[in-house]
Amino acid sequence: MNIWALCSLITGLINLTLGLYVYCKNPRHPLNRIFALFALSLAIWGISEFGHRIANTPETALLWIKAGGFGWCFMVGFYIHFALLFARKTNYLKKVSAYIILYAPCLLFLHLFLSTDLIYINEATKMYWGYTSLPGKFIWVYTAYYTISYFWGIYLFIQVLKYGTTIEKKQVIPMLWGYTATLIIGTLSNVIFPWHGILIPELGTIIALTTATGAFYSILKYKLFIIPVKEDETSIPLIFNLEKGTVYFTKGENSNRAYKVFIDQVSHGIPGLCFSKFPAKKIREEYKILYTPIIHVTFKGREKDTIGYKDIEFISSTILDFIEKTKTAVILVDCLNEIIMINGWEKTLCWLERLKEKCTNSVLLFSINTELLDKKQRLYLKENLRFFAG
């Protein structure tokens, strides 16, 4: 097997898997859909490169090369679209002209690539790593286009790094490294070197794996795509009228009362987020919660779809990021006893005060067994949180 072709296939399949994973996490949200399309464009590029590197004839190789154009021509538009959504520059996307700016160049370069020799020469050339195509005389135009576009995207990510929430800042760092590596190494191996007669295997698709890895790392470690999703609304009237900007708590050994309030809110169009000491699957099955994000809080620390009890800064950052996206939401935490036990009362108290200060247009709801608290802690709850009797 051609090792260079195999590398292209592996990176293409990884990008395809990542795109499907992100899409399935929340197919309703534009951020997930556009990222999935971006990953798909990288996958098309990689898989087509595998095809023309192992092709037996120049004619077959050329067909694979042309197929790859649908990937690398559109990846830039999808990349900038994703960056705009992630940086919350959604006002730009309300105008038709924005989509023309994003995707008209993609269509133009695809047309030039498929029908002329201006971008890449319209023939397959045999190299020791397989068939490939050599740059045309106007490849510099495409190079300038995607370089400017990539720097635009990097600028948007840097803005997130400067002004975003704590969790967004953590999310964007691995993506910045991934996109930067792809830009530099991909440009050198795919354009600059062959343009100057230095013929080496193109590394663009392979190095694009850093883009996939950066995003995948953010998704798993920092829950990049925890996006607000509303439940299907019920026709039953709202039972509990909660006051925005208020922190409530319910008493008891179990959390049924708190979940009853929470479900009432999310089933009436209010975005919700739940932090639970129970696995998400158990909560969804028991309380019929279909779409609302549920994060399992455990003693083990961060694993897939879990957060450790020690990570209260990460929990608060996730809450604030969620509220920023929704503007108003209901947040349920059914594990306050465990958080106090692991972090201590003073640290938990500071954490609660910061949340109270920030959640001015949303509702925080804690389920807590007050029998496990001391007198000082119960007094704080009584004076600073509102008891919900149900």
Condensed to tens digits (0 to 9), the pLDDT of residues 146-164 reads: 889 988 988 998 888 887 6
Predicted confidence band of residue 1 (pLDDT cuts 50, 70, 90): low
Pairing of strands 130-132, 125-127: antiparallel
Query: What is residue 253's predicted lDDT score, i.e. its pLDDT?
Result: 72
**Which residue stretches of 239-311 are H helix?**
256-266, 280-287
Tell which wins on pLDDT, 327 or 9. 9
Distance CA 210, CA 337 (A): 40
Taking 80 as the threshold, does the pLDDT of residue 35 lie above it? yes
Tell which wins on pLDDT, 56 or 307. 56
Mean pLDDT of 5-25: 89
Distance CA 130, CA 68 (A): 15
Task: Output DSSP code: residue 243.
Answer: P
Tell which wins on pLDDT, 26 or 275. 275
Distance CA 307, CA 317 (A): 12
Structural domains for the chain: 3-222 (1.20.1070.10), 246-387 (3.40.50.300)
Condensed to tens digits (0 to 9), the pLDDT of residues 231-265 reads: 888 888 888 888 898 899 888 777 888 999 999 99
In the structure encoding, which two tokens stand for residue 214, read together? 């950066």
248-261 CB burial, b ≥16 within 10 A, e <16: bbbbeeebebbbeb
Distance CA 184, CA 188 (A): 6
- Give, for 39, the enclosing helix (H) or strand (E): helix 30-54
Taking 70 as the threshold, does the pLDDT of residue 389 lie above it? no
Predicted confidence band of residue 303 (pLDDT cuts 50, 70, 90): low
Question: For residues 79 and 157, is the Cβ–Cβ distance under 8 A?
Answer: no
Mean pLDDT of 117-144: 89
The fraction of the chain above a pLDDT of 70, given in percent, is 95
Taking 80 as the threshold, does the pLDDT of residue 29 lie above it? no
Predicted confidence band of residue 390 (pLDDT cuts 50, 70, 90): low
Instruction: Choose among 264, 203, 185, 271: nearest CA to 53.
Output: 203
Question: For residues 390 and 257, is the Cβ–Cβ distance under 8 A?
Answer: yes
Give the bridge partners for 330, in sequence order: 272, 363
Residue type, 19: G
Taking 60 as the threshold, does the pLDDT of residue 304 lie above it? no
The fraction of the chain above a pLDDT of 90, given in percent, is 35
Predicted confidence band of residue 312 (pLDDT cuts 50, 70, 90): confident
Taking 90 as the threshold, does the pLDDT of residue 215 lie above it? no
Mean pLDDT of the chain: 86
The most confident of the ranges 30-34, 102-106, 228-232 is: 102-106
Distance CA 216, CA 237 (A): 41
Distance CA 57, CA 131 (A): 9
Of 118-122, 132-136, 207-211, 365-369, the range with the lowest mean pLDDT is 207-211
Question: For residues 318 and 223, is the Cβ–Cβ distance under 8 A?
Answer: yes
Query: What is residue 165's predicted lDDT score, i.e. its pLDDT?
Result: 62
In the structure encoding, which two tokens stand for residue 223, read together? 């829950």
Q: What is the pTM of this model?
A: 0.69
Query: What is residue 302's predicted lDDT score, i.e. its pLDDT?
Result: 54
Of 95-99, 168-172, 244-248, 279-283, the range with the lowest mean pLDDT is 168-172
Question: For residues 34 and 80, is the Cβ–Cβ distance under 8 A?
Answer: no
Residue type, 163: Y
Query: What is residue 308's predicted lDDT score, i.e. its pLDDT?
Result: 84
Query: What is residue 166's predicted lDDT score, i.e. its pLDDT?
Result: 65
Query: What is residue 115's predicted lDDT score, i.e. its pLDDT?
Result: 93
Burial of 375 per CB tally in 10 Å (0-12, 13-18, 19+): exposed
**Cβ–Cβ contacts within 10 Å for residue 154, how many?**
16
Nearest 5°: CA angle at 387, between 366 and 262?
A: 45
Task: Output DSSP code: residue 335.
Answer: -
Q: Return the SS3 of 244.
A: coil
Question: For residues 36 and 9, is the Cβ–Cβ distance under 8 A?
Answer: no
Q: Which long-range contacts (CB under 8 A, 24 or more apart) does 61-68 make?
A: 61/124, 61/130, 61/131, 62/122, 62/123, 62/124, 62/131, 62/133, 64/131, 65/120, 65/124, 65/131, 65/132, 65/133, 66/113, 66/114, 68/44
Query: What is residue 212's predicted lDDT score, i.e. its pLDDT?
Result: 75
Residue type, 168: E
Distance CA 35, CA 82 (A): 6
- Residues composing the chain: 390
Query: What is residue 217's predicted lDDT score, i.e. its pLDDT?
Result: 77
